[in-house]
């Protein structure tokens, strides 16, 4: 056994230290010209420097509806740089300019508009890119895009400072962008080899055009992007950022609580960043969206929203279906924290430490001896990825949580190996060790692996996951242990390439989950899914599932049908809906039974003009003892959200949540002034009301909060 472990570790060492192996010839690099003067970023392409000095790009081709088809609307793009900024400009012609979609809205909220996009892979990884998307008025969306294991993510929580403006004119619209070099990370080299992708989306027709042209034979966009060269040294500034924060909170039961804090960032160099925070503001400007939380077997997952933890978070991610051993919302109320993130050569790494003053745990009953929670929990998280071969990596992770002598530690390796754009091997192996009072576990394993084949018209794969009964990840999110599961899947696609029908895909999968040690089947399932992609952002899914689920020692056999759809073709009313009907278990440990349920979800947004948005969402689940039998519960949650954008920086927002099951009403009103990321002012009022036995609503709590922060970049 020791020899096998040694051989495996030796193989990992060889993979990490081996040079990159390219399985295909790289595209020809393009030198980006240096501009003699900076263009004014006002959205008007009247500066002759664009035509005379910048790189002009005209050979855009369709991605949808017709792969590599000729665009129905002409587009021209320009690229250049100087010592401080990387510059882009777009001239988007439109023969029906009155149908151009452009809202005045908060940043990161423009995906239903027309837009242009820039993806910058500054580390030449072909897996990760800084993403900048602009609507015709220059409203910004910025994100980190990652493409690993045949899957892609767009994390819009990442924010940086860049400058943009746009104008609609008689020819269509124009957009200008300046991205400061100190706003992005890249290797500190004199000749910088990056990859760039440019795109344009026309919302009313669903047409997307790109440069370079994309092929559906290859999963992903970044891996097909164009290599570019920025030859000269550029100005990175002193790379110091300071963000003082002041928050104030007044509730019904407590006096005004005034809390100062500060965030500090030091760009040690262009690809290494240190973040420090003291008494950070981790209040949510918008509460988590309501979810159905009744008759749930496992804990609900809520996304991270806090700025300090979101910085460099793509480094701490794992495969979508793998072992989520890092979940920063486990850190409830930190007094302070430190984070070091960056990339040196082929090694990407992140180190996070935080002191949590209000830890809570489901599995540990840690108290201070007086029935309260322990005062402090110390978190340490280390993550590293090493680039190997073409668009592949091997990763390492170590997490540690300490509370009053108790601890939980997880160590693991993971990776993605990509072969000839067709085969993907994704794997993850972790071990945990936990000590609480006098009890201490051995190192126990959790394993995951998936092998997938992908082509334009068909694909298939198999996966395996097993988690030891004593495995615990107190810095992560894992709501189930004690099982071994495995399965297979396949998909088949056709491409009609019609204006409103781009793709039809049939997916089939089957799986089995057994107890870790005993030969007891916990679950088994067969699933079929039919996807209709009308345009890139207008889709419908129809799914059928036949499943056996064991609960409290009883095998329950279930069948269900689900439908999900999203549509933004109607300019003033984008909407989405979901429906699931079928057998469902009532999770009662004493007397579980198989009932019948309907679950609905509806989202509708009204846009009467460019500044006003009114949205309504409904989540509903009704459960019966059996089909046509007595109703057990009816759960309804309605959220109404209205925003009015007075200017690009100033907005008003009102939210009302009504929970019919718990008889609760939550109301929120917010004034937001966002000059740029980090320089913000918020003033808000929240109000909670509960209906009593007489049907009257009474206030249970209220809060008035204020937040101000200013981002200094030196």
The predicted pLDDT at position 207 comes to: 95
Q: How far apart are CA 641 and CA 395, in angstroms?
A: 41
- Which pLDDT does position 298 carry in this prediction? 64
If 0-12 CB within 10 Å is exposed, 13-18 middle and 19+ buried, where does residue 49 land? Answer: middle
Return d(Cα 392, Cα 159) in angstroms, integer.
26
Those residues whose C-beta lies under 8 Å from the C-beta of residue 152, and which sit 6 or more positions away, are 145, 146, 220, 221
CA-wise closest residue to 291 among 282, 299, 300: 300
What distance in Å separates the CA atoms of residue 711 and residue 267, rounded to the nearest whole number? 15
Q: Name the least confident of 161-165, 172-176, 586-590.
A: 586-590
- Those residues with Cβ within 8 angstroms of residue 395's Cβ, 6 or more apart along the chain or in another chain: 318, 383, 384, 385, 386, 413, 414, 415
Nearest to 289 by CA among 576, 655, 574: 655
Sign of the four-CA dihedral 626, 631, 632, 635: positive
pLDDT of residue 378: 93
How far, in Å, are 121, 185, 384, 678 from residue 272 at the CA level? 16, 8, 13, 20
Helix (H, G, I), strand (E, B) or coil at 123: coil
Q: Nearest-CA neighbor of 265 among 192, 183, 188?
A: 183
Query: pLDDT tens digits for 54-101?
Result: 999 999 999 999 999 999 999 999 999 999 999 999 999 999 999 999
Q: Is the pLDDT of residue 693 over 90?
A: no
pLDDT digits (tens, 9 = 90+) for 317-327: 888 788 999 98
Q: Which of 225-234, 262-271, 587-596 has the lowest mean pLDDT?
A: 262-271
At 107 the pLDDT is 87
Return the structure tokens found at 614.
């009114």
**Is pLDDT at 23 greater than 50 in this prediction?**
no
Compute the average pLDDT of residues 493-522: 93
- Weakest mean pLDDT among 61-65, 80-84, 199-203, 235-239: 235-239
Residue 186 CB burial class (10 angstroms; 0-12, 13-18, ≥19): buried
Q: Which two tokens stand for residue 370?
A: 């007086």
* Spatial contact of 436 and 364, defined as CB atoms under 8 Å apart: yes
445, 466 Cβ separation under 8 angstroms: yes
Q: What is the pTM of this model?
A: 0.86
How much is the average pLDDT of 397-405?
92
What is 326-392 written as a DSSP string?
Answer: --GGG--SEEEEEEEEEEETTEEEEEEEEEESS---SS---B-SSSSB-S-EEEEEEEEEEEETTTE
User: What pLDDT score was predicted for residue 373?
Assistant: 46
Residue 438, CA distances (Å) to 202, 366, 405 in order: 63, 13, 10
Question: Which pLDDT band holds residue 694 (cuts at 50, 70, 90)?
Answer: low
Question: Buried b / exposed e across 51-89, counting CB within 10 Å, b at 16+?
Answer: eebbeebeebbbbbbbbeeebebbbbbbbbbbebbbbbb
| Burial class (CB within 10 angstroms; exposed 0-12, middle 13-18, buried 19+) of 572 | exposed
Say what the pLDDT of residue 375 is: 67
Mean pLDDT throughout 257-267? Answer: 87
Structure tokens at 623: 């459960």
Q: According to the model, what pLDDT value does residue 6 have?
A: 42
Q: What is the mean pLDDT of the segment spanning 250-255? A: 84
CA dist., res. 313 & res. 324, Å (int):
13
Res. 594: pLDDT tops 90? yes
pLDDT, tens only, 632-649:
999 999 999 999 999 999
Render the burial of 417-427: b for 16+ CB within 10 Å, e for the rest. bbeebeebbbb
Q: In this structure, are strands 226-230 and 30-31 parallel, antiparallel, or unpaired? A: parallel
Q: Rounded distance, CA 97 to CA 420, Å? A: 43
For the record, the structure tokens of 534 come out as: 């009308």
Whether the per-residue pLDDT at 20 is higher than 50: the answer is: no
The torsion of the CA quartet 653, 606, 569, 77, rounded to 10 degrees, works out to: -40
pLDDT over 90 at 714, yes or no: no
Distance CA 583, CA 556 (A): 9
Instruction: List residues bridging with 237 in a β-sheet.
Output: none
Confidence of residue 284 (pLDDT cuts 50, 70, 90): low
**Tens of pLDDT, residues 342-368:** 888 889 999 999 999 878 654 344 444
| pLDDT on residue 537 | 87
Residue 550 contacts residue 522 (beta carbons within 8 Å): yes
Give all strands (DSSP E) within 122-256, no chain letters.
128-134, 140-148, 151-155, 163-169, 172-180, 192-202, 207-211, 226-230, 240-251
Q: What is the pLDDT of residues 673-689, one digit of tens each?
A: 999 888 999 999 988 88
Report the relative pairing of strands 334-344 and 347-356 from DSSP bridges.
antiparallel
Are 348 and 359 contacting, i.e. CB atoms less than 8 angstroms apart? no
């Amino acid at each position: 056994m020791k020899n096998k472990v040694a051989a495996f570790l030796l193989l990992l060492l060889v993979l990490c230290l081996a040079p990159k192996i390219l399985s295909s010839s790289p595209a020809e690099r393009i030198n980006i010209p240096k501009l003699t003067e900076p263009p004014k970023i006002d959205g008007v392409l009247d500066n002759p420097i664009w035509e005379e000095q910048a790189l002009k790009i005209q050979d855009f081709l369709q991605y949808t509806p017709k792969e590599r088809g000729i665009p129905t609307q002409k587009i021209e793009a320009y690229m250049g740089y100087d010592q401080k900024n990387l510059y882009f400009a777009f001239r988007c012609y439109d023969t029906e300019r009155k149908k151009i979609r452009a809202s005045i809205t908060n940043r990161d909220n423009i995906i239903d508009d027309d837009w242009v996009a820039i993806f910058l892979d500054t580390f030449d990884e072909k897996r990760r890119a800084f993403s900048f998307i602009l609507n015709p008025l220059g409203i910004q969306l910025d994100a980190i895009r990652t493409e690993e294991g045949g899957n892609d993510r767009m994390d819009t929580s990442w924010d940086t400072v860049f400058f943009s403006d746009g104008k609609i004119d008689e020819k269509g619209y124009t957009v200008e962008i300046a991205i400061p070099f100190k706003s992005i990370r890249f290797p500190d080299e004199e000749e910088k080899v990056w990859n760039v992708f440019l795109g344009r989306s026309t919302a009313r027709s669903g047409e997307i055009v790109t440069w370079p042209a994309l092929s559906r034979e290859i999963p992903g966009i970044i891996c097909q992007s164009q290599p570019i060269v920025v030859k000269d040294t550029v100005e990175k500034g002193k790379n110091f950022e300071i963000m003082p924060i002041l928050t104030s909170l007044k509730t019904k039961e407590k006096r005004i609580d005034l809390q100062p804090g500060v965030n500090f960032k030091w760009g040690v160099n262009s690809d290494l960043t240190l973040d420090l925070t003291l008494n950070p503001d981790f209040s949510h400007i918008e509460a988590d969206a309501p979810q159905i939380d009744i008759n749930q077997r496992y804990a609900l997952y809520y996304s991270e929203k806090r700025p300090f933890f979101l910085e460099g978070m793509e480094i701490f991610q794992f495969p979508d279906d793998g072992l989520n051993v890092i979940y920063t919302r486990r850190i409830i109320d930190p007094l302070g924290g430190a984070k070091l993130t960056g990339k040196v050569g082929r090694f990407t790494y992140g180190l996070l430490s935080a002191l949590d003053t209000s830890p809570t745990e489901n599995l540990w009953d840690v108290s201070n001896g007086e029935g309260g929670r322990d005062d402090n929990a110390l978190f340490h998280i280390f993550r590293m990825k090493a680039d190997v071969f073409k668009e592949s990596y091997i990763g390492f992770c170590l997490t540690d949580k300490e509370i009053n002598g108790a601890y939980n530690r997880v160590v693991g390796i993971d990776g993605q190996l990509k072969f000839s754009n067709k085969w993907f091997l994704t794997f993850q192996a972790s071990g945990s060790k936990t000590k609480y009072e006098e009890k201490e576990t051995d190192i126990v394993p959790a394993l995951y692996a998936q092998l997938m084949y992908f082509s334009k018209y068909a694909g298939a794969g198999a996966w395996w996951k097993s988690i030891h009964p004593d495995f615990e990840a107190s810095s992560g999110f894992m709501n189930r242990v004690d099982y071994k599961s495995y399965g297979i899947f396949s998909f088949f696609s056709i491409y009609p390439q019609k204006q409103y029908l781009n793709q039809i895909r049939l997916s089939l999968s089957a799986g089995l989950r057994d107890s870790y040690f005993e030969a007891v089947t916990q679950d088994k399932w067969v699933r079929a899914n039919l996807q209709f992609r009308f345009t890139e952002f207008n889709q419908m899914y129809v799914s059928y599932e036949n499943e056996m689920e064991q609960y409290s020692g009883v095998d329950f056999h279930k069948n269900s049908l689900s439908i999900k759809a999203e549509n933004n073709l109607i300019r003033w009313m984008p909407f989405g809906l979901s429906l699931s009907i079928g057998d469902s278990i009532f999770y009662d440990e004493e007397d579980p039974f198989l009932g019948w349920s309907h679950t609905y979800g509806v989202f509708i947004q009204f846009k009467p003009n460019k500044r006003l948005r009114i949205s309504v969402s409904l989540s509903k689940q009704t459960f019966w003892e059996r089909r046509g039998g007595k109703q057990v519960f009816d759960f309804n949650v309605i959220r109404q959200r209205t925003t009015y954008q007075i200017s690009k920086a100033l907005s008003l927002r009102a939210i009302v949540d009504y929970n019919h099951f718990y008889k609760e009403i939550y109301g929120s009103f917010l004034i937001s002034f966002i000059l740029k990321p980090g320089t913000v002012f918020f003033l808000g009022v929240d109000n909670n009301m509960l209906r009593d036995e007489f049907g009257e609503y009474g206030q249970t709590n209220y809060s008035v909060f204020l937040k101000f922060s200013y981002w200094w970049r030196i």
